Amino acid sequence: MSRFIIVAAAIALSTVPARANGHGGGDAPPPPKPEATTAPAKVVLTKEGPKLVDLKGMTLYTYERDTTGKSSNCNGKCIESWVPLSATADAKAIGDFTVINRNDGSKMWAYRYRPLYTSPADRSPGDANGTATTLQWHIARPEN
């Protein structure tokens, strides 16, 4: 019987270091894995067909004068009427969405190299009043 107690004690004592090394011994849990980058916009279906909206559901637009795919031609007073879809300084391209540099040093999102903007004329998600202001602005569509 005493052999059994000695063997049981030896087994119990040999498992203590294993539990103390990351198995309940108080070590911090491993850091979470970085989440995949989220696209800055999504496609919604409307009566007029699919369109791109930002993550708040606001309609996105493209500008005919943005032709190079490397910069925005809406600067200065233009951004009072058309708000660039801003990107963070460390934003990276994802799928059809790319990041372009603006004249003021900020960054913005583009879809298939076409810079994306919202319109202050749109008050609620789903509104599409921006196209009424001029013929040079168009609703951003996934097929474009």
Q: Tell me: pLDDT of 139 over 80.
A: yes
Q: How distant, in Å, are the alpha carbons of 25, 38, 97 from that of 18? A: 9, 39, 48
What is the percent of the chain with per-residue pLDDT over 90, rounded to a whole number? 58
pLDDT at residue 48, rounded to an integer: 87
Question: How far is 134 from 63, CA to CA, in rounded Å?
Answer: 10
DSSP 131: G
pLDDT at residue 2, rounded to an integer: 46
Q: Tell me: pLDDT of 142 over 60.
A: yes
Question: How far is 38 from 57, CA to CA, in rounded Å?
Answer: 15
Strand partners, 109: 99
Kindly report the average pLDDT of the chain as a whole number: 81
Mean pLDDT, residues 56-78 taken together: 93
| Per-residue pLDDT tens digits for 14-54 | 544 444 444 555 566 665 554 446 899 999 999 989 999 99
pLDDT at residue 119, rounded to an integer: 94
